[in-house]
Structure 1
C-alpha cells in the first residue's frame, strides 16, 4: 500500500518541530513496511529527505497531479490559505471531484471556529481579519468537505479523543455517525523510557510554546504560588507571551523559584531531559489530547494537568496523574501525593502503563488498518 501524507508543514533541518506528530507516523509506517511520501503545498518546487521520509514541496494545483499514484491519502492539518500556492482548498476540491480515497485525522485547528478560542483574542485589526477568515472562509469549506464525504465508503475520519469528535460536530454543526475512529496520537515509549524520579519530587518542569494562551503557562505559574518554597519550576519554550509571563512571575514573588528558559528541547534529548525532574506541570485551556503531557507520563514524571476538554480521557485523577480546575486545589493534591512516596510511585507507574497502551507502534497499526480499509475500495 502506497500512502501519501498531505500536510501544510513538515520537519526539516531548519524547522525540526514542524508537525512532528505527522513525521512520527511516517517513520513508524516505513518501519512497518509501507511506502510513504509526504506532500506539502508550497510556492516552490523542492524535494528533500528527512530521517528517511521523502518530502515533496510544490504548488497545490501541481500537487494534485501526483495523487492518483497512491492507494490512499492521509490528511493532517492541510490548511486553507486563500489566494496562495500553499492553499489546501484546491486539493480538497480535487479529492471531491475525483472521489479519491482518503483518511482525515482531525486536529482542532482544522475544524474549530474562531470563537472556540476566545482566550486568544486581542483587540487589533490583524486579529479581526483572522476571525473573519476562519469563520467565513475556512470553516464553511471544511464543513462542505466533511458533509460531502462523511458517508462515503472510501473515506474515514480519525480523532485523537471523543472530545475532539464532539467539538468538531459542534463547530461544524453536523454529525459523523459512521466511518470514524478514535485513535490518540501515539507516544514513543521506547524513546521515552520509564525512570524512577521520586528523588526529584520538588523539581517541576513545563514544556510549552509561549505563543498561545491555550497552553496556560500563566496557570502553571499560579499553581506555584500555592506550593512550598522548596518546589521549583523551569519553563521551556519560546513565544510572544514570554515577557508577560516573566512579569507575572515577578509580580507573584516567584523569581527565585520559577525560571523561563527560552529554548525547546530536541526530541532525541527528551529521555535524558526528563530525568532531571519529578513533576510535569501541564495545565491547559483546551487540548484534544496533550502529547507533551503524555510523553512526560511515559518517562515517569508525576503529570499534572487541567480537568477540561480531552484531558480526562488520558488522566484519571490520582490514578495515573493529577487533574483539577483550581490552582490552589491542584497544588494541595501535588503536596499530598509528593508527601507519600508509595502513592507517588503507584501513580507514575500507572501513568507509564497508560502510555504503553497508546505506544506509537500500536496506534499507527490501528491507523494502518483504517487506511487499508478505505484504500481497498475503488471510488
Structure 2
C-alpha cells in the first residue's frame, strides 16, 4: 500500500520526540514493505527523517497516488480541512483522546497555583469549542460515508472507544464494522533490553512525570511517600509543582528531561516505579516500564487494568486504599521471556493496523451515519 500519515507534528533532528508514536508506526509500515509519506502540519519544508519522507501541507496536497490515509488525533483546523480534498480514499482515524472528548468533563482542573483568569477563560472557551468540534467531526464523517468512502476508527484502548461513543453516540451506530482497539506501541528500547537491578539502588521508588499536569498525579506520589517515610522516592520531570509544594523529606526531585533511550538504564537503579494517574487513554510510559520488567505501582482504573492486566510485576492501587502496606510488598520482577512483554511490540501492532487498513480497501458503507 501507499500510505499517507497525517499528524500535527513529527520528529526532527532538533526535536526527536514530537509525536514519536507516529514515527514508530511509519518505521514498521516501511519494514513491512509499504510506501509511507507523512504530512506534518508543523513543518514548513519537506525533509527525510530516518528513511521516512515528511511533507508540508502544500506538498501533500499536490499528490494523489495514495491507497489509504491514516490521520492521528484529527483536528478541525488542519486535518479535516485537508481531508476534504481526499474524499475518494479509504480513511483511518486514530483516536487518542481530547479530539473526541468533552475536555472539561474528563480532564482534571489544574493545580491551585496554576489556576487564574487564563484557566477560567480556557474552560469557558472549551464549553463553546467542544460542541463545535464534535459537531464538525460528525458532519465530516457523515459526509465521507455518504460518498461511500471507507471509514474506520482505531482507538488506543477499550475505555477510549467507550468514552468516545459516550460523547459521540453516532460513533456507535455502526459499532463493529468500522472500529477496532489497537494500543500504541512501546519504544523498542524497553523490549530490546530487560530490567537488571543494580547492586545498590539510588532509592526505592522512581517516578518520571511532567510535574504540572494533574492527570499525571505527582501530588499522589508525594502523598504516598508521606505514608512510608522509611522508603526513598526519586521523581524526574519538569514544572513548578514542587516549587509551590515542597516535597516530604524522603522525596528527591530531579528537574530534568530523560531521553526515552536512557530510561531503561535509569530504571535499573530502583526497586520499583510509582506511576499513579488521574486520566489516561492508555498510559504509554507505564506500558513501557511494565514491559521492561521492573515492578510497577499504578492507579486502579479501567484503562490500567486493560493495558497492564496479566503483568505479574504490576500492582494496582484502588481509590481510597492506604498504599503503605501495598508499597511495602514489592512484586516480583517480570521474567524476560514472558509472552506478555510482546503485548505492545511495534511490529505486532503495526501488522494489526495494516490489516485493518487493508480491510477498508474492499469496504463500502451501505448507509449514512
TM-score range, shorter chain: 0.7 to 0.9
Q: How many residues align?
A: 353
Range moving further from structure 2, 48-57 or 137-146 = 137-146
Would you say 1:369 and 2:355 are equivalent positions?
yes
The unaligned stretches of length 5 or more in structure 1 are 82-86
In structure 2, what is the equivalent of residue 158 of structure 1? 154
In structure 2, what is the equivalent of residue 22 of structure 1? 22
Partners of 2:71 and 2:236 in 1: how far apart?
30
Q: Structure 1 residues 258, 150: CA separation in 2 closer, same or farther (over 3 Å shift)?
A: farther
Q: Which of 240, 243, 259 is the matching residue for 2:240?
A: 243
In structure 2, what is the equivalent of residue 84 of structure 1? none
Deviation at 1:138, TM superposition (A): 1.9
Deviation at 1:201, TM superposition (A): 9.6
TM-score normalised to structure 2 length: 0.85
Deviation at 1:227, TM superposition (A): 1.9
Partners of 1:138 and 1:41 in 2: how far apart?
18
In structure 2, what is the equivalent of residue 40 of structure 1? 40
In structure 2, what is the equivalent of residue 184 of structure 1? 183
Deviation at 1:282, TM superposition (A): 1.1
Would you say 1:171 and 2:159 are equivalent positions?
no
Asked if the contact 2:71–2:93 (Cα under 8 Å) also holds between the matched residues in 1, the reply is yes
In structure 1, what is the equivalent of residue 67 of structure 2? 71
Per-residue CA deviation, residues 209-238 of structure 1 (Å, 9 max, x unaligned), is 234211111112111111242x22222222
In structure 2, what is the equivalent of residue 94 of structure 1? 85
In structure 2, what is the equivalent of residue 57 of structure 1? 56
Q: Which of 101, 110, 124 is the matching residue for 1:112?
A: 101
Structure 1 SS opposite 2:335: helix
Partners of 1:246 and 1:4 in 2: how far apart?
44
Partners of 1:210 and 1:201 in 2: how far apart?
21
Deviation at 1:311, TM superposition (A): 1.0
Structure 2 SS opposite 1:236: strand
Partners of 2:102 and 2:316 in 1: how far apart?
27
In structure 2, what is the equivalent of residue 144 of structure 1? 139
Asked if the contact 2:205–2:270 (Cα under 8 Å) also holds between the matched residues in 1, the reply is yes
Task: For 1:263-278, list aligned pairs within 5 A.
Answer: 263-278=256-271
The unaligned stretches of length 5 or more in structure 2 are none
In structure 1, what is the equivalent of residue 332 of structure 2? 344
Deviation at 1:351, TM superposition (A): 11
Deviation at 1:280, TM superposition (A): 1.5
Deviation at 1:133, TM superposition (A): 5.2
Asked if the contact 1:75–1:105 (Cα under 8 Å) also holds between the matched residues in 2, the reply is yes
Structure 1 SS opposite 2:108: helix
Partners of 1:355 and 1:141 in 2: how far apart?
39
Would you say 1:322 and 2:315 are equivalent positions?
yes
Asked if the contact 2:6–2:69 (Cα under 8 Å) also holds between the matched residues in 1, the reply is yes
Asked if the contact 2:90–2:150 (Cα under 8 Å) also holds between the matched residues in 1, the reply is yes
Would you say 1:131 and 2:132 are equivalent positions?
no
Q: Structure 1 residues 211, 376: CA separation in 2 closer, same or farther (over 3 Å shift)?
A: farther
Asked if the contact 2:189–2:264 (Cα under 8 Å) also holds between the matched residues in 1, the reply is no
Partners of 1:247 and 1:65 in 2: how far apart?
51
Partners of 1:314 and 1:118 in 2: how far apart?
20
Q: Structure 1 residues 335, 317: CA separation in 2 closer, same or farther (over 3 Å shift)?
A: farther
Structure 2 SS opposite 1:156: strand
In structure 1, what is the equivalent of residue 207 of structure 2? 206
Per-residue CA deviation, residues 118-154 of structure 1 (Å, 9 max, x unaligned), is 5235452441354145314322212333445579672
Structure 1 SS opposite 2:84: helix
Partners of 2:75 and 2:186 in 1: how far apart?
24
Q: CA RMSD in A?
A: 2.8
Partners of 2:145 and 2:312 in 1: how far apart?
37
